[in-house]
Structure 1
Amino acid sequence: MTVDKPWLAQYPENVPKTINPDQYESLIELYEECFNRFRMHPMTICMGVTHTYGDVDNASLAVAAWLQAQGLPKGSVVALMMPNVPQYLPTMIGILRAGYVCTPINPLYTGRELRHQLNDSGAQVIFVVDNFAQALEQVIEETNIKRIVLSKMGDMMGLKGILVNTVIRQVKRLVPKYNLNDPKYNVTKFPEVLKKGKNLPIQAPKTTLQQKAILQYTGGTTGLSKGAILTQRNVVAAAMQSEAWYRPVTSGINEVYINMVMALPLYHIFAFMLSLLGMRSGYTFILVPNPRDMPGFIKTLSKQPFHIFPAVNTLFKGLLDQPNFKDLDFSSLRITQAGGMAATEQTAARWLEVTGCPMVEGWGMTEGVAGGTANVITDRKFNGTIGIPVPSVDIIVIDENGERVGMHQ
């Protein structure tokens, strides 16, 4: 089927018409390229604690080695249920480097929702932060989970982590009581995984772009959440599409290390895709574990310059409604990316007035690794549309009978 592509005429000069994910043999190769290129560069900042690309590389290798030592069959599914904490990306990358498939889980899921995803995905191991262990305990007997890795929020924050864990548990009381101490649950603490994994051998699995990488569950807005199978090629392509689309702006700030605000939850396809885009270009992610804590979020933003700010409309609006948000320094902000839900003209206008940076909207879906359409990144005006197809995306419009309809230009 041939597709007319009138939108290509609107591409900025330095955005390619197509991308070629086949330049990589696997997603693992892309990750390892990033770790080698940016080894000493900060990859994540969370609550004032920085981890370099080298730190994340080492931690993910330890996770991978420990997982392989558990004797899981090839292609097994491992669940990941965490907010945006430093151990999230090393764990996810470690699962893939071990040769397994990762299924990210919304940590705010109820027991019923959690049980559905664990059973539907066939996950045998779960990495979970203890804030959400109670939900797991409610359903564990009704799942195939054979091993639990239990983590605390501050597990990769050194001495600061001890303080973080104490405040979360004793002061804010954010860890509901749970009891997973029974040996039958086969629980390992996350620091133990890192400690043991560092001394274990790792077998680099033979991986190809055709293999499954992520079992990503949809929003479930029209019924039960469904698992979209994303291959390594799907994921690599999405990273390359986004990087190409941002290039007209990011190429002008590459001398400065780019900081991306990561308040969107990493278990969501939008943030997952942005993490790959950022890694390919050596970005530093400013991790926000709880964006609902608006005063805490604004305090985090005040501590370092930020260049790229992706979020959903409700989050942008929530920040704008905080009186002291306007006092932040927005001089470094170059890209405000709206997605995940429709952005409103009113929020976009307020955002531009306060920050001086226009909001650019896009559209994507879980099955397409969040890549679909986007407005041209250099646009200075919000237009309320979802934009045009990004490189290597073809779109046709059909009517209710499945017949193609003409283009209105």
Structure 2
Amino acid sequence: MADSFFHDHYPAGMVGKVDPDKYSSIVDIFDSFIKKFSDKPVFSCMGQTISFDELNRLSANFASYLQNHTDLQPGDRIAVQLPNILQFPVVVWGAIRAGMVVVNTNPLYTDREMEHQFNDSGAKVLVVYAGMAAQALRVKPKTGIQKIIVTEIADLHSPFKRLLINSVVKYVKKMVPAYDRSAVVSLLSVLSEGGRKPLQPVAMKGDDLAVLQYTGGTTGVAKGAMLTHRNLVANMLQSKEFFQLALNEGKEIMIAPLPLYHIYAFLLHGMLIPYTGNHNVLIPNPRDLPSFIKEMAKYKFTSFTGLNTLFVALCNNEDFRKLDFSHLKMTVSGGMALTKAAADRWEEVTGCRINEGYGMTETSPVLSFNPPGHVQLGTIGIPAPSTEIAILDENGNALPDGEVGELCARGPQVMKGYWKRPEETAKTMTEDGFIRTGDIAIKQADGYLKIVDRKKDMIIVSGFNVYPNEVEEVLTAHPQVLEAAAIGVPDDATGEKILVFVVAKGDVTEADLIAHCRKNLTAYKVPKVFEFRPELPKTNVGKVLRRALKEEMQAS
């Protein structure tokens, strides 16, 4: 690998390196925060709160059940397919304390996606939300799943509220299709059974697998990134260096709308916020804006995590704009590019700047972040402590500051490899341990990094590179544009031309947008075709699916 760099000018209050071996495993981290914060609140959801002590007791019960009532052995895989409810941290921490490898699974998956992930990972037990139990039973015969554990949405609430909420969800909202209860085990019975015998501690090492985190499959079949205990310990400590510039130990309330099964929220809300003794408010369905905002209104929240599409949707909601933001001091963005229009609007509505970061499933996930108090809007911040960065050309040569190339990184948070896919690992990892991100970036002279676009999304017009992010950034700066997605489509004259899908706020014409683009973009970057849509296809975390738009155009 050619020359790389460590960022060596961190703001006051941060260190440039962390010790990934400070804890032997993430269970050691769990033990440390349980002991330190005991009776403080750690997770709330739909009006119910559990303390650190309760998280300890309930997760120990789940771990004990796995040890005493299943054939699972340390290192076996357990799939967890839950939304943001209190059961998620209980089950995940219980599985890890029993020495299992967690396979985070999207609750919105189709049968095909579930079947692939369960078979690829070799998962033997599945913990699933009741609304998906019928689907899970349908998939089970095609997989190695031996036992399905089912939980209803309010199972960890008080008995009266549990009955009330679960009944409304099942009978009024009709969100739980009928399923054969005799073919599954209820989580409540599991926790009760597990509580009869103590958890037997399992010795774990830093190189042991903790999580199999599947990528979105945008480059083909979904692959499991092998994240070790050491990877996650390192990334939590790296992230803490940034967060401590704004957040205090034991005094913060963070709103958690992004799914915990996604590595971004998994590390932040599942590990870092508990490690610092702080309180997460879990939002099960952020698409239900009225319920989401009503829940936020109950708390003097001090921090918030989101991504571009969520910031846009909230800021366009009248009830959200009426909330009390006087305690909000940190907003974190990741998962997709943050547009200037969305960042400016959020700051205007809430009075809080957005701290954008960058990472990927394969890096546990954080590679860089904008330090609180030192934000450069339009960048992804500076490299995390103990992280080496290289910007490479197509031949693997290091490029000087300001030159556009592929962002590559090396550090203790980089995955062990892809599960049972050594060929795919070799394509992504260099021999000396750098991971190729597939993103095109620039390193500024001050060490801040700027993503230009995805390598695979780049559009080539008459031999010139056009990055969709830039086009979308310009379009969303127009006062009548809510969202935009740019793709390349074949063109006889120029090879490719730019097609933009637009979600408008009000009256705006194609001619208006072309005129706006011509003021802000070089001629070859100006879109040739506009298509107005009521909405854009998105992933479960709200990231716009350019790939789906491309496939749609190819099929038409």
User: In the aligned structure 1, how far is the partner of 2:85 from the partner of 2:192?
Assistant: 19
Deviates more, 1:133-142 or 1:319-328: 133-142
2:499 is aligned to none
Q: CA deviation at 1:205?
A: 1.0
2:225 is aligned to 228
2:177 is aligned to 176
2:363 is aligned to 368
Superposed counterparts of 1:315-326, under 5 Å: 315-326=310-321
1:379 correspondence with 2:389: no
2:492 is aligned to none
The answer as to whether partners of 1:3 and 1:394 remain within 8 angstroms in 2 is no
Runs (5+) with no aligned partner, structure 1: none
The answer as to whether partners of 2:314 and 2:320 remain within 8 angstroms in 1 is yes
Q: CA deviation at 1:179?
A: 3.0
Aligned pair partner of 2:239 in 230, 242, 246: 242
Superposed counterparts of 1:179-198, under 5 Å: 179=180, 181-182=182-183, 187-198=184-195
2:473 is aligned to none
1:356 correspondence with 2:344: no
Amino acid at match of 2:71: G
Q: Could you say what secondary structure the match of 2:246 adopts?
A: helix
1:404 correspondence with 2:398: yes
User: In the aligned structure 2, how far is the partner of 1:2 from the partner of 1:62?
Assistant: 50
Aligned pair partner of 1:258 in 249, 252, 262: 252
The answer as to whether partners of 1:42 and 1:51 remain within 8 angstroms in 2 is yes
Q: CA deviation at 1:180?
A: 5.3
Q: Deviations over 1:53-96 (max 9, x none)?
A: 00000000000000011121331000000001111101000001
Aligned pair partner of 2:262 in 264, 268, 272: 268
Q: Could you tell me the percent identity over the aligned residues?
A: 39
User: In the aligned structure 1, how far is the partner of 2:85 from the partner of 2:391?
Assistant: 41
2:281 is aligned to 286
2:528 is aligned to none
Higher relative contact order (CA closer than 8 Å, sequence separation 6+): 1
With normalisation by structure 1, the TM-score equals: 0.95
User: In the aligned structure 2, how far is the partner of 1:377 from the partner of 1:366?
Assistant: 23
1:77 is aligned to 77
Q: Could you say what secondary structure the match of 1:8 adopts?
A: coil
Q: CA deviation at 1:21?
A: 2.0
Q: Deviations over 1:180-210 (max 9, x none)?
A: 534xxxx211000110111123221111111
Q: Deviations over 1:217-274 (max 9, x none)?
A: 01212221110000000011111111111111114xx4x6201111110000000110
Q: CA deviation at 1:375?
A: 1.3
Superposed counterparts of 1:4-403, under 5 Å: 5=5, 7-9=7-9, 11-69=10-68, 70-158=70-158, 159-179=160-180, 181-182=182-183, 187-251=184-248, 254=249, 257-275=251-269, 276-379=271-374, 383-403=377-397
Amino acid at match of 2:90: P
Deviates more, 1:266-275 or 1:68-77: 68-77
User: In the aligned structure 1, how far is the partner of 2:256 from the partner of 2:217?
Assistant: 23
Q: Could you say what secondary structure the match of 1:303 adopts?
A: coil
User: In the aligned structure 2, how far is the partner of 1:21 from the partner of 1:6?
Assistant: 17
RMSD (CA atoms): 1.4
Q: As a proportion of its length, which structure holds more strand?
A: 2
Amino acid at match of 2:12: E
The answer as to whether partners of 1:245 and 1:377 remain within 8 angstroms in 2 is yes
User: In the aligned structure 1, how far is the partner of 2:65 from the partner of 2:135?
Assistant: 25
The answer as to whether partners of 2:44 and 2:50 remain within 8 angstroms in 1 is yes
User: In the aligned structure 1, how far is the partner of 2:32 from the partner of 2:257?
Assistant: 25
Deviates more, 1:264-273 or 1:170-179: 170-179
Q: CA deviation at 1:407?
A: 2.7
Count of residues paired in the alignment: 400
The answer as to whether partners of 1:398 and 1:405 remain within 8 angstroms in 2 is yes
Q: Could you say what secondary structure the match of 1:20 adopts?
A: coil
With normalisation by structure 2, the TM-score equals: 0.70
The answer as to whether partners of 2:61 and 2:198 remain within 8 angstroms in 1 is no
Larger radius of gyration: 2
User: In the aligned structure 1, how far is the partner of 2:212 from the partner of 2:385?
Assistant: 24
Q: Deviations over 1:372-399 (max 9, x none)?
A: 011122135x521211101111110111
Q: Deviations over 1:342-394 (max 9, x none)?
A: 111111111000000001111100011111011122135x5212111011111
User: In the aligned structure 2, how far is the partner of 1:93 from the partner of 1:6?
Assistant: 33
The answer as to whether partners of 2:302 and 2:327 remain within 8 angstroms in 1 is yes
- Label 1:258 to 1:140 Cα distance change in 2 as closer, same or farther (>3 A): same
Q: CA deviation at 1:4?
A: 5.4
User: In the aligned structure 2, how far is the partner of 1:401 from the partner of 1:42?
Assistant: 52
Amino acid at match of 1:352: E
The answer as to whether partners of 1:358 and 1:379 remain within 8 angstroms in 2 is no
User: In the aligned structure 1, how far is the partner of 2:37 from the partner of 2:74?
Assistant: 30
Q: Could you say what secondary structure the match of 1:228 adopts?
A: strand
Amino acid at match of 2:161: K
Q: Could you say what secondary structure the match of 2:390 adopts?
A: coil
List, as ranges, runs of 4+ consecutive aligned residues in structure 1 with deviation greater than 4 Å: 1-4
User: In the aligned structure 1, how far is the partner of 2:157 from the partner of 2:148?
Assistant: 21
